Amino acid sequence: MRAAYVLNRPQKVFVVCAAIFLTALIIAEATAGKFFTAFDLPFTLTLLGVEFDAVIMTAGVIAFPVTFIVTDVMNEYFGKRGIRFVTFLGMAMVVFEFLILQAALAVPTAEISPVPDEAFASVFGTTGRVIIGSLTAYLIGQLADIALFHWLRRLTDGRHLWLRATGSTFGSQFLDTFIVLIVAFAGQLAFAEIIAITLFNYGYKLVIAIVITPLIYAAHAAIDRYLGHEVAESLIARAARGEHSVAEAVTQG
């Protein structure tokens, strides 16, 4: 009988990171249609002729701190190939989520259902346009983040983790935030409102990226301890060279 494959520690880290990332992505996608008031402004902000008295953001940004940390970890230890694989897998899962939700929306609602059809549809009735906007923004943002992360890694010769973690986020998240809003909500929101929400969301992401930088170092320290210094350094070195560092780590048990 063929022996079962056993995941070793690097593979387990990869699987856990991928699972966390995909879960956060699906949650962000499912909640992106809700706008909320983060806080009231002490002044009236006028942007392109539209006045704002509060900072308004999409609920999808709540999951951002999780994806920020996990994207950095996967970039660092598993390189472009690893994070690109998870990026494209994430796109497939968003489409899968959309199809399942369409099926759930199509089945008739029972009279005893505690959730009426209208309420269910208002929450989960994501339009194809929103999905296209989300996927386009997600793909462009992720690929930009990956490219910037590894460019900064080469530029600094592997030093200054904080710089490549936050620097790649600063460059990529504006594209992600603006594209999803312009594609999904153009015609429904005024252009000034789209720009304002883009800036509010982007500002939030910048602040979060800076504030949780210590958590990036904590995550790296925890993974290094779990993997062992030698294995961790080997993964990081291979990721920096663009070599595949996960598939070859299968052991048989």
Q: Which domain holds residue 40?
A: 5-252
pLDDT for the residue 240: 83
Between CA 143 and CA 83 the distance in angstroms is 9
Phi-psi region of 34 (alpha: psi -120 to 50; beta: other; left: phi over 0): beta
Count of structural domains within the chain:
1
Helix 161-185, helix 213-227: angle, nearest 10: 120
- What pLDDT, in 10s, does the model give residues 175-185? 887 887 787 77
Burial of 64 (0-12, 13-18, 19+ CB in 10 A): buried
Q: Quickly count helices (H) and strands (E) in the chain.
A: 8, 4
Minimal CA–CA distance to 144: which of 196, 204, 83, 195?
83
The strand pair at 35-47 and 5-6 is best described as unpaired
What is the rounded average pLDDT of the residues 165-189? 79
Structure tokens at 120: 């269910």
Torsion of Cα atoms, 119 then 132 then 73 then 161, to 10° = -120
Between CA 238 and CA 110 the distance in angstroms is 55
pLDDT band per the 50, 70, 90 thresholds, residue 4: low
Give me the DSSP letters along 193-210.
HHHHHHHHHHHHHHHHHH
**Residues above pLDDT 70, as percent of the chain:** 92
Among 56-60, 90-94, 209-213, 222-226, name the one with the lowest average pLDDT.
56-60
Its pTM stands at: 0.83
pLDDT for the residue 228: 92
Element housing 57 (H / E): strand 50-58
Look at 120 and 5; give whichever has higher pLDDT: 120
Element housing 53 (H / E): strand 50-58
**Secondary structure letter of residue 91 according to DSSP:** H
Residues 6+ apart with CB under 8 A from 77: 10, 13, 14, 223, 232, 235, 236, 239, 245
pLDDT for the residue 117: 86
pLDDT band per the 50, 70, 90 thresholds, residue 127: low
Residues shown for the chain: 253
pLDDT for the residue 250: 38
Cβ atoms of 222 and 77 within 8 Å: the answer is no
Among 13-22, 184-193, 224-233, name the one with the lowest average pLDDT.
184-193
pLDDT for the residue 252: 37
- What pLDDT, in 10s, does the model give residues 207-246? 888 888 899 999 999 999 999 989 999 998 888 887 665 6
Tally the C-alpha atoms within 13 A of residue 224's C-alpha that lie toward its C-beta: 11
Cβ atoms of 177 and 140 within 8 Å: the answer is no
Burial of 164 (0-12, 13-18, 19+ CB in 10 A): buried
Is pLDDT at 172 greater than 80 in this prediction? yes
- Separation in Å, CA 4 to CA 87, 105, 238: 28, 40, 27
**Residues above pLDDT 90, as percent of the chain:** 23
pLDDT for the residue 173: 80
What is the rounded average pLDDT of the residues 139-148? 88
